[in-house]
Amino acid sequence: MPNITVKARSSENQKEGSSVSFLGGIIYSGNGKIVSTITDMNTTFGERFNFKSDSDTKDFSIRILGHSQDLVVADGLSYFHVPSFLNGYTIVNLDASVDTASSSGNISLQIYSIDDSSDILTTPITIEAENLDSYDSEVDSVIDTTKNSFITGNVFRIDCNGAGTDAKGLVLHISCR
């Protein structure tokens, strides 16, 4: 399967590293303006949206905040629109990473389904202080299996409930099958 990477930037509407959404081959900036379109899924577009696949699981990462952007507590750091090629898949794992670790205090992230008006994690993603990712966190995120289906066009919001201290950058890692 091809690796697909998208780097979206529009000089007037989008700074390098700010959030984008991906919907059926169209990349949207946080303000809803079209930044780029994808016409050939075998093309490499930079480092914005990384998609790789095997026969059972699709793994992809979405850069939420640029490398030097401060992580802040907020609902709606970014929105993810489910593209048609993920229709029918279910989320089986969620992790996150930052570019600069929190010097104190844990990072806590939640994924909210706009369509269901509910959180999809019963236990949020945690990146512990002085760590760059959630992979080895003492507290694993727990996905509500009644809310983890991808349906074309559904929208998921990425929320930060705890930003730690001095953390920068944010990437969400999603596995589905």
In order of start, what are the domains of the chain with their CATH numbers? 52-176 (2.60.120)
Q: Quick one: pLDDT band at residue 163, thresholds 50, 70, 90? A: very high
* Cβ–Cβ under 8 Å, residues 143 and 35: no
* Cβ–Cβ under 8 Å, residues 79 and 159: no
Cα distance between residue 133 and residue 171, in whole Å? 9
Cα distance between residue 144 and residue 124, in whole Å? 11
pLDDT value for 149: 94
Tens of pLDDT along 49-74? Answer: 444 555 578 888 999 999 999 999 99
The mean of the pLDDT values for the chain is 78
Tens of pLDDT along 59-117? Answer: 889 999 999 999 999 999 999 999 998 999 999 999 999 999 999 999 999 999 999 99
The pTM of the whole model exceeds 0.85: no
Find the angle CA(39)-CA(44)-CA(47) to the nearest 5 degrees: 120
Cα→Cα distances 73→11, 108, 139, Å = 26, 9, 19
